[in-house]
Structure 1
Amino acid sequence: MALTEVEVLSNGLVLAVEERPWSPAVAMQLLLPVGAVTDPEGVEGAASLLEGWLWKGAGGRDAQALADAFDALGVRRASASGLEYTTFAAEFLADKLRPVLALYADVLMRPHLLGEDLEAVRQVALQERAALEDQPPKKMFTALRRAVFKSPHGRNPDGEKAHLERATAQALREDFARRYRPKGAILALVGGVRFEEAKEAVEEALGGWRGEGVPHPPVELSAPHALHLEQATAQVQIGLIYPDVTPAHPEFYTARLAVQVLSGSSSSRLFTEVREKRGLVYSVYATPNGVKGYSYLRVYAGTTPERAGETLRVLQEEITRLSEGVTEGELERTKVGLRAALVMQDESSRQRAASVARDLYQLGRVRSLDEIEARIAEVNLSRINRYLRENPYRGPWVATLGPRKLA
C-alpha cells in the first residue's frame, strides 16, 4: 500500500504526495479554502465568479492560448467552486509535472482578470443560478441548508442573483487578492512522481506565492424546525437533515455502516420499505453530508401530493426504527459493499488525490485504505446496535416543496 508523504512548505501550502512508481501518470488535486462561506457580505457568489474568471487569461496567454497550452501538455483538467473551497483537478503524464505546475502558477498568481471578460462569466453564473428553478430537489435542499445554518454555511455556492448582478470587477480583484493565498491550501499528487521531485517542482512554480487568506467562520445552527416552499409542481420534494457524527468521531465508521443499512443499495431499508413494498416514492435515499466541524444525515424522498403526508411519516418511522438495531446479515452486506466501493475508489488516482486533499482539509491527516478497512472490520453487531440505541437519529430539520403545505 502506497504511503502519503505530507509537508507544509515555507509559504504555508500543504503538499501531499502518494507515490505510485508503476504509474506513468499523475493526478493532481489543488484545494483552496475559497468558497461561499467566505464570500464577502453582499457578494454571495464571488468565489464562483472568480473561479470562472481565472480561466479568461493568465501570464502571457489569453483564454484560448491558455487552453491550448494545457491541451498541448495532454492535461485533463476541471475546476469548481463550492461551499467551503475551490478545487483544481488535473491528470497528466508524470514527465509534464513542471510545465503543468508553471501553467497553474500563472492561473493562481498572475491571472488577467480583465473587466471586459467578466460579463461572460457573470452570464454563465446567472444561468446556473436560474437553473435552480428547474431543479426542485436542489431548490428544496438549498432552502433547507440555509434554514439549518445561521452561519454562512447555509449559503448557496451558486450565489444570489442580485449579488451576482452587482459584483464589480474591482471588488472581485480585491477579493481575489485577499483569498487566493497559499496558507491552508492543499496540493495533492498521486502517481508516478517521487516526493522530493514533486517538492522541488512545486517550490519552483509556487514558491513565490505568499499570503494567509481568510479564516472560515465557525458553524452556527438554528433550532430544528420545518419549512415549506410553495411551487406548482406535480410532485412533492421532501428533505430532512439529522445531526450526525464528524469524521473525527471514534464511531464515525459505525455511523457510516448504519447509514448504508438505511440507504446503501437496492436491499437497503428505505428503498425496500418506502419504495418497493409501499410504492410511496419514485426516489428515496439518505446520505452523509456536512461541513468542516459539523456533519449531518441528508434524507430525500420524491412523491405525489396525495401521498406526501404518508411518505414523510413512513420515512421518519424507518429512520427511527434504525435505533432498534440492524441484523447480522444487513451488517455483513453493508461491510462488503462499502469495502468494494473503497477499493474501486482507491484504484482511481484522480479520486484518490481528491480524497487525500479532503482528508487533509477535514482531519489534518490522510487516511489510508488499510486504516479505513480495519476500522470498518472492527465494527461488530453488538457495537453498531449499542451505538444506534445510544445515538438515535431524531430532531430533524424538515423541508417540503410542492403545491401545498402538508397537514
Structure 2
Amino acid sequence: MPDPHLFALPCGLTLVFEARSGPGFALELRVPVGAAHDQHGREGAAGVLEEWLFKGADGLDARGLADAFDDLGVRRGGGVTAEATRFTLSGLAGDLGEALTLLARVLRAPHLHDDEFDVLVDLAQQDLEGLQDSPADRLALAMRAATFGNGYGHPVSGTPEGLSALTPDDVRDVYARFGAHGAVLALVAPLAPEEARALTQRIFGDWAPGSGARVPVEVREGVRAHIPDDSEQTHMTVCARGIAPRDPDWLAWHLALTVLSGGSASRLFHEVREERGLAYSVSAGAQIIGDAAVLGAYAGTTPDRAQETLDVLRAALAGLRGGVTPEEYMRAREALVSSTVFSSESLRSRAANLARDWWLFGETRTPQQLRAQVEAVTLPQVNAFLDRYDLGPLGVLTLGQEALV
C-alpha cells in the first residue's frame, strides 16, 4: 500500500490522500467545531447545526439535496463529537468530483431557514430523553464532565436548558466558525496524488478560514461522585491517568490496555466475570480528547455485589504495575495487529483511520507501518513502561441506589 500524501492547501485545509486502485472512493472531512464549542447555556448548538446543514443549501431544499446524493449513489454519514463535526462520503470513483462539490455546497452555502429550526430542536430533545433510559450512557457522560470539563461534559444533543434557550442565531454563530483552517480531508481514491490535490483545490481552494480553534482540555484527577438512581443495577467507572497520543509510550500503554480488557482472555473478563461472577458487562479503554487521555474501567452489577466489583476493578488497575506475562503480551500484540489489518480493508474505514491519525498524531501511517510499530514494542519495553506507569489518584463515579467507598 503506497504511503499517504499530505497537502497543506493555501486556504488552511489539510488533504490526506491515499491512492488505491478499484472502482470506489471514500472520504472523511473533519471540521474542528464540535459540541465543546457550544456557548454555555446554549448546549446543543453544534448538534442541531449538523442536521440543519442538510435541510437545504445553494438553491436545493432538503429533498433536492437528498435526491442529488442518491442520484450519485453516494453513501453519506458523519456526526458531531466534542471536538469536531465529521462528514463522510463513499461511492463510485467516477462520481467523486460531483459528490465533493455537493458536500462543499452544503458546507459553504447552507440555507439555515428559521422554519426548520424548531423541528430540529425537538429531535435533539427526544435524543436527550432517550439518553435517560440508559444508565451506562448517563454515567459515561458524568465521567466525561467530571474528568474533562470545559464544555466536554454535555451530550452532543445538548442539555434541556440549553435547547430551551437555543435560537436560530445561536446556531448560525456556531456555523460562522466553520472553515478551512484546521480542517482535514482524508481521501482514498484511484487517483494520482496531484489529481487529488488539484480536485480539492478547485472545490475548496477559496473556502474561508473560519475560527474553529480547539477548546483547551483540563483533566481533573481523583474525582469522586455518586448519582442516585432507582436502577436495579449499580453502574461504576474507575478513572486513571492515561498516556497522551503523541507520547512515546502510547503503543506500550495500548498493549497493556488490551491485556486488561481485550476479549475473553483479558484480566478484567477473567477476574470480574469468570472467576467471581460479579458482572456480565465489564470493560476498560482509553478516553481521548485532544492531547489528553484517561483510562476508564466500567462495570455494571447488582447492588449487593457492587462494592466487591469496585474493589476488584481498582485492584486490576493497580495490578498493571506488576507487568504482563509473555502469554498476555503475545495475545495483546496479535489482537492489535489483527485490528490494524482488518480496519484498513474497506475504503470507508481507511479514510476514517487517515483522518484520525492526522487529528491525533499529526502524521499518517500505512497499515504496514503501524503493524511494524506495534510489533517493535517488546515485552521488556511494555513491562518497563508499566513499572513506571503512574495511575495517579483514581476517580470513582457510581450510579445506583447507594454510594460506594
Q: TM-score range by the shorter chain?
A: over 0.9
Determine the structure 2 residue equivalent to 1:147. 146
User: Residue 134 of structure 1 aligns to a residue in which SS?
Assistant: coil
Q: Which amino acid aligns with 1:259?
A: L
2:137 counterpart of 1:138: yes
Write the distance in 2 (CA, Å) between the matches of 1:191 and 1:266. 37
Write the distance in 2 (CA, Å) between the matches of 1:204 and 1:380. 46
Determine the structure 2 residue equivalent to 1:180. 178
Determine the structure 2 residue equivalent to 1:294. 292
Write the distance in 2 (CA, Å) between the matches of 1:382 and 1:185. 39
CA deviation digits over 1:104-145, x for unaligned, max 9?
A: 111000101000011111111111111111010110111111
Determine the structure 1 residue equivalent to 2:3. 3
Contact 1:17–1:190 (Cα < 8 Å) also in 2: yes
Determine the structure 1 residue equivalent to 2:325. 327
Aligned-residue CA RMSD (Å): 1.3
Write the distance in 2 (CA, Å) between the matches of 1:217 and 1:106. 27
Write the distance in 2 (CA, Å) between the matches of 1:223 and 1:390. 18
What are the within-5 Å matches in structure 2 for residues 103-118 of structure 1? 103-118=102-117
Determine the structure 1 residue equivalent to 2:13. 13
Segment of structure 1 superposing worse, 92-101 or 364-373: 364-373
Write the distance in 2 (CA, Å) between the matches of 1:366 and 1:328. 30
Write the distance in 2 (CA, Å) between the matches of 1:260 and 1:249. 18
Write the distance in 2 (CA, Å) between the matches of 1:165 and 1:367. 44
Contact 1:97–1:201 (Cα < 8 Å) also in 2: no
Contact 2:181–2:212 (Cα < 8 Å) also in 1: no
Determine the structure 1 residue equivalent to 2:257. 259
**TM-score, with normalisation over the residues of structure 1?**
0.97
What are the within-5 Å matches in structure 2 for residues 33-48 of structure 1? 33-48=32-47
Segment of structure 1 superposing worse, 227-236 or 387-396: 387-396
What are the within-5 Å matches in structure 2 for residues 41-120 of structure 1? 41-120=40-119
2:374 to 350, 373, 376: 376
1:205 to 172, 197, 203: 203
Q: Which amino acid aligns with 1:155?
A: H
CA deviation digits over 1:211-256, x for unaligned, max 9?
A: 2313223222334121000010000111122111112111111110
Write the distance in 2 (CA, Å) between the matches of 1:273 and 1:394. 23
Determine the structure 1 residue equivalent to 2:189. 191
| Offset at residue 354 of structure 1 (A) | 0.8
User: Residue 29 of structure 2 aligns to a residue in which SS?
Assistant: strand
| Offset at residue 392 of structure 1 (A) | 4.2
CA deviation digits over 1:130-178, x for unaligned, max 9?
A: 111101011011111111124223333221111112211122223212x
User: Residue 247 of structure 1 aligns to a residue in which SS?
Assistant: coil
2:364 counterpart of 1:347: no
Q: Which amino acid aligns with 1:332?
A: M
Determine the structure 2 residue equivalent to 1:401. 399
Contact 1:18–1:191 (Cα < 8 Å) also in 2: yes
CA deviation digits over 1:5-57, x for unaligned, max 9?
A: 01111110111110012x21001100011111212232111110100100101
- Show structure 2 runs of 5+ residues with no match: none
Q: Which amino acid aligns with 1:243?
A: R
User: Residue 106 of structure 1 aligns to a residue in which SS?
Assistant: helix
Write the distance in 2 (CA, Å) between the matches of 1:390 and 1:345. 31
CA deviation digits over 1:255-308, x for unaligned, max 9?
A: 100010010011100001110110000100011121111011111101000000
Percent identity over paired residues: 38
| Offset at residue 371 of structure 1 (A) | 2.4
Segment of structure 1 superposing worse, 63-72 or 216-225: 216-225
2:39 counterpart of 1:31: no
User: Residue 398 of structure 1 aligns to a residue in which SS?
Assistant: strand
CA deviation digits over 1:365-396, x for unaligned, max 9?
A: 11222222122112222211111111043422
- Show structure 1 runs of 5+ residues with no match: none
Write the distance in 2 (CA, Å) between the matches of 1:223 and 1:242. 7
Q: Which amino acid aligns with 2:6?
A: V
Query: In 2 relative to 1, CA 151–174 (structure 1 residues): closer, same or farther, beyond 3 Å?
Result: closer
| Offset at residue 357 of structure 1 (A) | 0.8
